[in-house]
Amino acid sequence: MSEAGRIISPEAVSDDEALDRAIRPRRLADYVGQPAVREQMEIFIHAARGREEALDHVLIFGPPGLGKTTLAHILAQEMG
C-alpha cells in the first residue's frame, strides 16, 4: 500500500501539538491523578520558592503515558 493510500500515518499532524498543549494542565492544581507525586512536587515547589532559589534537580521516570512530560511542563510553569 502506498503512503498516499494510508488512512493513518505515524507522522504528527500539524494540529496534534497545538491540541496537546491546549488540553495539557498548566498548573499543579489542575494535575489529575498520582496524589503522592503531586504532594511531593507541591512541597518541592514551596520549599524552592521559600528559599527564593531554582528548584534543584528533579528526575521524573517511568513508562510512557504516565504524565512525565506534563509534570515537567507544570514544574517549569510553576517555577516561572
Q: For 15-24, what is each residue's pLDDT tens digit?
A: 777 877 788 8
Q: For 35-75, what is each residue's pLDDT tens digit?
A: 999 999 999 999 999 999 998 889 999 999 889 999 999 99
Distance CA 44, CA 2 (A): 51
Q: List CB contacts of 6: < 8 A, sequence separation 6 or more.
A: none
Domain 13-79, CATH number (from 3.40.50.300, 3.40.50.1100, 3.40.630.30, 3.40.50.2300)? 3.40.50.300
Q: List helix spans (H) across 1-80.
A: 14-23, 35-51, 68-79
Whether this prediction's pTM lies above 0.85 is answered by no
